[in-house]
Amino acid sequence: MPPPNLPDRTCLAVVLAAGESLRMCSAQPKVLHKLAGRSMLAHVLHSLAEAGTDKIVVVVGPSHAAVAAETKAIAASAEIAIQTERLGTAHAVLAARAAIAKGYDDLLIVFADTPLVRPQTFAKMRQALRGGQNAVVALGFKTSKPAGYGRFILENDALIAIREDRDASEAERTIETCNAGLMALEGNRALALLDAIGNANSQKEFYLTDVVTAARARGLNVTASIAAVDEVLGVNDRAQLADAEAILQMRLRTKAMQEGATLLDPGSVTLAFDTVLGRDVVIEPHVVFGPGVRVGEGSTVRSFSYLEGATIGTNAVIGPFARLRPGTELSQDVRIGNFVEVKASEVGAGTKINHLSYIGDATIGAKTNIGAGTIICNYDGFSKYRTEIGAHAFIGSNSALVAPVKIGEGAYIGSGSVITKDVAADALALGRARQIEKPDWASLFRHKRKEPGSSMEEPKAAGASSSGKSKDDF
């Protein structure tokens, strides 16, 4: 369901992304860890864009150039604000003071490590600000295990306070409506409310949750907006990252099946955030999709295949045990079989590459057959080169095509050939040594090896002695 449209209200979103990665035990900033092939920060930025925000400011730490770079890669118009000191969440929000002061109608305050909030939820929070009915909207969730979370103290749907677990009374600890941390503030009051927050607490920090008290002290309305538990999961360590991945994968699988794809064993299929599966696509168990894959209608991806950056036409069959790498473009009715790897190649309609082959940096015409064990030798240690294979060609098994090379339409390549020169259309090309047969050689060899004290070495390839002369006899 699309988020509610709020065209008459402007919106600024401040994304707090200055956290370290200590509990992740990682050198990489926490918010750059990925879910379904996209960083947590990117998930948040995309959801905010879908919710209709006009401006985004991302608050980062002073040493987080990578977070700033990721922000600009996802949302070029976003601003970066630096939190030079870590003095609490409200202090972090005020790193974006200049943007807040411009007077947007709505201010959303969100966390880059809470990546699963849906655009509809952001829009619902904004909706609660409309018409001045509330100055503050706090996002919460309900759980039967509230221990450790701040509790929402509610009276007649009004939010009276957010009580931290350690400060809650016995009665308040039974409350199951908890704080998710995200806020929406009325834009023209936001700075005054944020500036009113003090740090008279044991940590000497400025807590965003105190904005509730600041608003109520001014006689302003404060309300709660409730989201599903699976939306507001915060990610602080690897276990929570895995939990978030599981939630997101379930969403992606459900969406794919609702749109007409069959997943035979959904729990064993891993999708990327942007995987597109056409109607009547069948995905067998244990298939992994990296980013950038589109699968055309009626196609089948068989078990234990890995696909990334690939476009697959209609009624194709991939796998089992196939690997499609970035830049792969397969037309309709293509067959890619077991233990075949394709990279940066265009494969024409009806072409078959069924067994144990590597196809890299190639263009292959329609209805061509690539035999088992065919290798395209596309790299010389310094540069990559392309191979062109025409329509209706036949590449015999165990062939090596040394790029750059062109194989004409309808040409035949004999099995076991090494092709280093272009082959004309409809020609037969053979690139292998002539077969030599030596009658009785094998039996004589075995007999000689059985003689006591024999020091005879194994015959060299093609009957050549170490001196280079023909070795016709013993």
E-strand ranges in 265-393 read 276-277, 282-283, 288-289, 294-295, 300-301, 306-307, 310-312, 317-318, 323-324, 328-330, 335-338, 341-343, 346-347, 352-355, 358-360, 362-364, 369-370, 375-377, 387-389
DSSP 464: B
State which H helix or E strand residue 186 sits in.
Answer: strand 177-186
Question: Could you report how far apart the first and last alpha carbons of the chain are, in Å?
Answer: 84
- Buried-exposed string 48-87: b where 16+ CB fall within 10 A, e elsewhere: beebbbebbbbbbbeebeebbebbeebbeebbbbebeeee
* CA 290 vs CA 165, 274, 325, 346: distances in Å: 41, 9, 9, 19
Sort strands 317-318 and 177-186 into parallel, antiparallel or unpaired.
unpaired
Query: H/E/C letters for each residue in 69-112?
Result: HHHHHHCCCCEEEECCCCCCHHHHHHHHHHHHCCCCCEEEEEEC
- 153 CB contacts (<8 Å, ≥6 apart)? 159, 160, 161, 162, 163, 172, 175
Our measurement of the distance from residue 247's CA atom to the centroid of its chain's CA atoms, rounded to an integer in Å, reads: 14
CA gap 260, 312 in Å, rounded: 16
Q: Any idea which residues carry the catalytic annotation? A: 355
The two structure tokens encoding residue 346: 């265009």
- 252 CB contacts (<8 Å, ≥6 apart)? 36, 271, 272, 273, 275
